[in-house]
Amino acid sequence: MKNIAVIGAGTMGNGIAHTFAQFDYSVHLIDISEDSLKRGMATIAKNLDRMVAKEKISEAKKTATLNNITTYTAIKKGVKNADLVIEAATENAVLKSKIFKELDVECNKNTILATNTSSISITQIAAATNRPEKVIGMHFMNPVPIMKLVEIIKGYSTDDAVMETITELSKKINKIPVAVNDYPGFVANRILMPMINEAIETLYNKVAGVSEIDTVMKLGMAHPMGPLQLADFIGLDVCLSILNVLHDGFKNPKYAPCPLLVNMVMAGKLGVKSSEGFYDYTESRKAEKVAKMFL
C-alpha cells in the first residue's frame, strides 16, 4: 500500500497528506477548490519549515515530502490507482455519503475507503457504496502530524482483514491505532464533547468566567488546554455538529448542546477560525483576551 488519496485540503486533510508524504507515501490531495489546495500546500510547507527550524527533519526531507504530494481538483483523476482513499471533507453526513458513492464508482474494486469523520456512523457512510466491507473509519487527531492517536472504527460490515491492514498502516506512519466500534462519537468525542458542553453550561450559568473555568481544568486536572480554549481550537461549529450527532444518535438529553454554544455558532463566533470564540484571536492564534459572551 503506497498510493494514498486524501479528499479535502482543509486542516485535517492537509495534515493527513503531510503525514503520509513524510513517510514516503505517494499522496494525491484532492479538493474541488484550487484555492483550498494552494492554502493546504502552503500550510504543509509552513509546518515542514517549523520542523526544519526545530531540527526534527532536514531540508532535504522537507523537499522530498512536498514532492510526494500531487494536487487534483477532480476525484476521478485523483483516486486513480489509489490503494487507500481517506475522506476528510466537512462533517456532514449527506456530503460524505455523496463522496463515497462517487468513490465507489471511480476507485479500483480493491481500494479501501476510509473516512476521517469524528462522529458520523461508518455503517451509514458505507451504505452509500457497494463495498461496505472495505469502508472503515480513520479518525485522526488535530494537529495530525503531531498527535499520535488514530481511532480505527469498524463499521457493521467492515472486514477484519481491512481492520488489520489499516491498523498496521497506521503504525507505519508512527501513529498509535486504537480499535473502536461504530457508535455515535466513537470514544474520543463521546467523552470529550460532553465535557466541553458542560464547561459551556458552567459559563452559561455564570458559575465562573472563561479563564477561571479553563484554569481549574488545566491546574486541577492537568489538562494541557482548558475545555473552552480547546472548543475554540476545534471550532465551535464542529463541536455543535458532533453534539447534535450524539443527541440524535442516543436520544439522551445529556448530549443536548448548551444554548450558549448554539447562539455563538449562529452569531458566527466559531473560535480560532473566525478570530473570535470564547477568546479573542484577532491579533494571533493564541487565546489573548476573553471575547464578548453571547448570553
Q: Average pLDDT, stretch 66-83?
A: 97
**Does CATH place domain 3-181 in 3.50.50.60?**
no
**pLDDT tens-place string over residues 129-169:** 999 999 999 999 999 999 999 999 999 999 999 999 999 99
Q: pLDDT at residue 66 above 70? A: yes
Options 87, 91, 106, 151, the catalytic residue:
151
Read off the pTM: 0.91
Banded pLDDT at 294 (limits 50, 70, 90): very low
Helix (H) or strand (E) holding 26: strand 26-30
Domain covering 190-290: architecture: Orthogonal Bundle (1.10)
**pLDDT tens-place string over residues 174-212:** 999 999 999 999 999 999 999 999 999 999 999 999 999
Options 91, 121, 139, 241, the catalytic residue:
139
Q: pLDDT at residue 287 above 80? A: no
Using DSSP's 3-state secondary structure scheme, residue 149 falls into strand
Q: pLDDT at residue 288 above 80? A: no
pLDDT of residue 17: 98
Q: Is 170 a catalytic residue?
A: no
Helices (H), the chain: 11-22, 34-53, 59-67, 75-78, 93-106, 122-126, 160-172, 188-204, 210-215, 221, 227-234, 236-250, 259-266
Options 68, 121, 170, 189, the catalytic residue:
189
Q: pLDDT at residue 60 above 60? A: yes
- Residue 132: all three cell numbers together: 461496505
Q: Is 189 a catalytic residue?
A: yes
Determine what percent of the chain is predicted with pLDDT higher than 70.
96
Q: pLDDT at residue 291 above 90? A: no
Domain regions of the chain by residue span = 3-181, 190-290
Q: pLDDT at residue 295 above 50? A: no
Angle at Cα 258 formed by Cα 181 and Cα 189, nearest 5°?
20
Options 118, 119, 121, 274, the catalytic residue:
118
**pLDDT tens-place string over residues 215-255:** 999 999 999 999 999 999 999 999 999 999 999 999 999 99
Question: Across all residues in the chain, what is the average pLDDT?
Answer: 95
